[in-house]
Structure 1
């Protein structure tokens, strides 16, 4: 199966590795070193070779970083990982730091008064380093580019990935690569720019209508690209990844060169070259500047067009979600039949769910390792079950399952929280508040031009008035058979990117009580123009969300009296639509289960 249950890191290994790093620091005359969870492509997901943060500390989360000083090593983690990190690092040697509440600059000033802190310029963006340098201005602490010191002490570091690249059909993309390149190149020319550097794996895959296998669960290719003003592209990637068919798909206007040619090619560019200071490694702009080439700071030209899906991508994604929804209903039917018998474990659940998706016969991969947390494990937001942590599902508790699939026609991501027996009315009250947040986001209409931060409070209101909240964003962007986490769109108090038609996002409020239970409910949604309403202002353009995910919510956990009439109407309509859309796709047993699960409240 795709998912394994091995333990990827051992806290006991951290102290010796930390001591080895400190020896190298002393030999290099450095007072500290930055270790991010990042690679040279600055994507969210990294290959095994680039899991430096995990190798050093034991922390396996998808975001965070470590700063190692002579007397302290801080592991910076956001709200999603504050429970998880406690069990993954040796707390006698590594100190968890709540981030972004405590910034790297503030922490450094607290723990060191002077000295040189090294960093690998290929693993940090220009934006990151500029902000940290600004925070350290006036202190005796200096940041200095360095070779990667983790690589120096990691004796069995895995090799760079060599995943097979393959063509993504134009019929699913809705636009050819040539059309995309011409459109983006024209925009560069209009701004007086001769080229743009592209480092994000999903950006270059989107631009060239290709997919890859260099990162687990996400069908992306590792490489760099330069988009030239004439709409030609130079792609820097290992030639071994490309067979004849994929090379033919790239065409004559895409030149494939080895990764080793990337830096020399940067130095031969001319005019103003666009670089995204928020996603490109600092080393890119440094190389250009040293070659006296003008750096034109600007957004990765692919990110926003990639986020605004074509009609073909949306249509394909709808079909992927119906297929996946049917697999989920088969799974939930199975789960309800199995849990009363007892003896079921989290690993059993993960294996069964993947089996139902495999039964579609078109599963390319899962879109991330399934999060299956029973009872207290549900409160670990990104819990990954291992043979060591595997827990038997108890009676009278909650079970949280967050999972997704990669199909050639779309990427799915869904979370449902289910009752096993009777978890009690307190858990039901919390579940109902989370459901109210899901419904509020699903129903909202808003004026064009607003961003995710403007909508985020709607998902939290029912929790806020009960003195509760959750420590993650309400929604992330999702790709079209690409990364399950995609920028720049998201629903978060930090997001200032306006939401535009075609953007796919998750809608996933939650609530977590450490040591007791976790609740999260997630559908995927797509931004659409909102229809005019009778009596509305005709001159005001509004947007709304279309729901893509169709799977029942657990009615046993809903306190009906806690819902408004409008909430109840939405839920009943949603369940009626689930039954109408999935009924013909289900086995007889699952159909009977779904009919009961979708009965009106």
Structure 2
């Protein structure tokens, strides 16, 4: 954004009697990823990370993000315009209390939840809903996406949409509500077994829906985006209503109790339902937990997707082991090579997120996004981090490996850091725990080997993953600040501890884990994890003396499983490489 546009924004705020304006990263669907047409934060600040928020005042402006994006925030935003803040260490409301106590702050009611607005109001600010002023200034704004809504077949979904509607409707009725407003497109996709291409890496259509307690429903989407085959898939109990007519449809809810999640729904829905005379009932999205607990078909689909993905990963790792010492590769060329290996599978439907391909110092940027301008050679004797994933109709993958380029030996300190990250990864992967245990209770397992050396990492240890949906899915996660959602069989979460040396290198090791019943446990049921990801860890970076017997046994068993499941699908030379990469660690006294 040019300075003249920034001045125009401030003038617009002044004309409306506002002292400031809050612009979150998200769009009206409040998801992690947004289409180009809704990338207002990037237009305003230059920051393209997937989490953030900006506050513009008459004489100050700040942009906030979390620890994943500290370095990226510094690189992409102008320090003459923006104060760069860590969103946890300096919460936006605290910064605003210091910068403009008691101010009148404008906000877009489609982009903030009732809970978020209340946080600022409770801190003494007068919160004023306004039409987003950025929309009038953004002259070359792209058109919104309009991909068709397509049926997700039962051989992948494992349950019909009618069955899902019936059981969620029963949950609504038990809560004493007449209907639920579904504002998360992932919930709509799961409930109605729909997929689309409105976002580059997440196969959803951006829309809202209303589900009634009798199982009937309305999907608010342009009818032209719903082909005849999809209409037949949805059945007679589902009405298609254009988004422009949503307010008229909600007017039929007068006197009805409508469930709405104040933590995830735009506050605009509270206003619309209030105007319609409906009774808003605060409660969580009833699709979140059922979506996270994959049914047996989805579990088998995840295993199949990871076997397919593992073949591509192992082909890439074998290629990299030969190509990196020879030189000539860059961050972009390596990521393109992995994409090419994945693309050989007919079932591959694209990446689950833009690959994080970082060599050397770029690996320390936790969510680094390589561009033509930032692309750099992968040099000899340095660390290369590749975090990537694939979308398949039967599952979503996400995997990170940290590799030594060679041909020399890695320095002892680097091997120490890598092995501590690996030890933490293994400690979480081999955990057994009683039913009812939550992710925050297990997070420290992955950090303890780093903590022993006075080290840590500034991101969560793991997140939930969807079934041919978003690579980041709630409600469970491994994070010390997360809500204590009990882990349940069928959940899929990532296990990705790391260590980052700013200006030097980054280490992250990630597998996806499926929560399964454990054979142990007498007094109460126990759970454990089944690793889904199938790719070896770089042995050149492992110091076996830092791994205890149990950790070494786990690693040897894991590598043996990788070889057994992936080896038969590889050509002779690649299989020979995999045999060496998966060989047992040397015995350590």
One fold, TM greater than 0.5?
yes
Match of 1:585 in 2: 569
Mapped pair 1:48 → 2:32? no
Match of 2:121 in 1: 133
Mapped pair 1:298 → 2:273? no
Match of 2:301 in 1: 316
Three-state SS of the structure 2 residue aligned to 1:164 is: coil
Mapped pair 1:530 → 2:531? no
Question: Deviation per CA, 1:160-197, whole angstroms, max 9, x where unpaired?
Answer: 11012211111211110000000010111122210000
Match of 2:321 in 1: 336
Residues 17 and 497 from structure 1, CA distance in 2 versus in 1: closer, same or farther, beyond 3 angstroms? farther
Equivalent runs, 1:415-494 vs 2, <5 Å: 415-421=400-406, 422-494=409-481
Three-state SS of the structure 2 residue aligned to 1:518 is: strand
Give me the whole-angstrom Cα distance separating, in 2, the residues matched to 1:447 and 1:29.
Answer: 56
Contact persistence 1:288–1:294 (CA under 8 A): yes
Deviation at 1:291, TM superposition (A): 2.8
Match of 1:365 in 2: 350
Give me the whole-angstrom Cα distance separating, in 2, the residues matched to 1:17 and 1:554.
Answer: 49
Match of 2:21 in 1: 33
Q: Which of these residues, 128, 152, 156, is aligned with residue 144 of structure 1?
A: 128
Deviation at 1:14, TM superposition (A): 5.2
Match of 1:8 in 2: none
Residues 256 and 428 from structure 1, CA distance in 2 versus in 1: closer, same or farther, beyond 3 angstroms? same
Question: Deviation per CA, 1:192-226, whole angstroms, max 9, x where unpaired?
Answer: 21000001111100000010111110001111100
Give me the whole-angstrom Cα distance separating, in 1, the residues matched to 2:330 and 2:226.
Answer: 41
Give me the whole-angstrom Cα distance separating, in 1, the residues matched to 2:91 and 2:369.
Answer: 27
Mapped pair 1:158 → 2:162? no
Match of 1:356 in 2: 341
Q: Which of these residues, 186, 198, 202, is aligned with residue 182 of structure 2?
A: 198
Deviation at 1:360, TM superposition (A): 1.3
Match of 1:240 in 2: 224
Match of 2:64 in 1: 76
Give me the whole-angstrom Cα distance separating, in 2, the residues matched to 1:322 and 1:22.
Answer: 53
Mapped pair 1:188 → 2:172? yes
Give me the whole-angstrom Cα distance separating, in 2, the residues matched to 1:16 and 1:390.
Answer: 31
Give me the whole-angstrom Cα distance separating, in 2, the residues matched to 1:230 and 1:450.
Answer: 34
Contact persistence 1:32–1:118 (CA under 8 A): yes
Residues 428 and 17 from structure 1, CA distance in 2 versus in 1: closer, same or farther, beyond 3 angstroms? farther
Q: Which of these residues, 230, 233, 237, is aligned with residue 249 of structure 1?
A: 233
Deviation at 1:263, TM superposition (A): 2.1
Deviation at 1:339, TM superposition (A): 1.0
Residues 115 and 436 from structure 1, CA distance in 2 versus in 1: closer, same or farther, beyond 3 angstroms? same
Match of 2:385 in 1: 400
Give me the whole-angstrom Cα distance separating, in 2, the residues matched to 1:545 and 1:508.
Answer: 14
Contact persistence 1:507–1:523 (CA under 8 A): yes
Deviation at 1:16, TM superposition (A): 3.8
Contact persistence 1:125–1:278 (CA under 8 A): yes
Mapped pair 1:562 → 2:546? yes
Three-state SS of the structure 1 residue aligned to 2:297 is: helix
Question: Deviation per CA, 1:332-383, whole angstroms, max 9, x where unpaired?
Answer: 1111111111121111101101000001122111101000000000000111
Match of 1:115 in 2: 103
Mapped pair 1:600 → 2:587? no
Match of 2:366 in 1: 381
Q: Which 5+ residue runs of structure 1 have no aligned equivalent?
A: 1-12
Match of 1:506 in 2: 494
Give me the whole-angstrom Cα distance separating, in 2, the residues matched to 1:188 and 1:489.
Answer: 22
Deviation at 1:503, TM superposition (A): 0.8
Deviation at 1:599, TM superposition (A): 0.6
Contact persistence 1:15–1:93 (CA under 8 A): no
Give me the whole-angstrom Cα distance separating, in 1, the residues matched to 2:359 and 2:87.
Answer: 27
Task: State how many pairs are aligned.
Answer: 581
Give me the whole-angstrom Cα distance separating, in 2, the residues matched to 1:220 and 1:16.
Answer: 36
Give me the whole-angstrom Cα distance separating, in 2, the residues matched to 1:358 and 1:117.
Answer: 48
Mapped pair 1:90 → 2:78? yes
Deviation at 1:79, TM superposition (A): 0.7
Match of 1:268 in 2: 252
Q: TM-score, normalised by structure 2?
A: 0.97
Contact persistence 1:452–1:497 (CA under 8 A): yes
Give me the whole-angstrom Cα distance separating, in 1, the residues matched to 2:80 and 2:58.
Answer: 14
Give me the whole-angstrom Cα distance separating, in 1, the residues matched to 2:38 and 2:244.
Answer: 18
Give me the whole-angstrom Cα distance separating, in 2, the residues matched to 1:253 and 1:289.
Answer: 26
Question: Deviation per CA, 1:20-43, whole angstroms, max 9, x where unpaired?
Answer: 211211122211000001111111
Three-state SS of the structure 2 residue aligned to 1:82 is: helix
Deviation at 1:493, TM superposition (A): 0.7
Give me the whole-angstrom Cα distance separating, in 1, the residues matched to 2:451 and 2:478.
Answer: 17
Deviation at 1:290, TM superposition (A): 2.8
Match of 1:223 in 2: 207
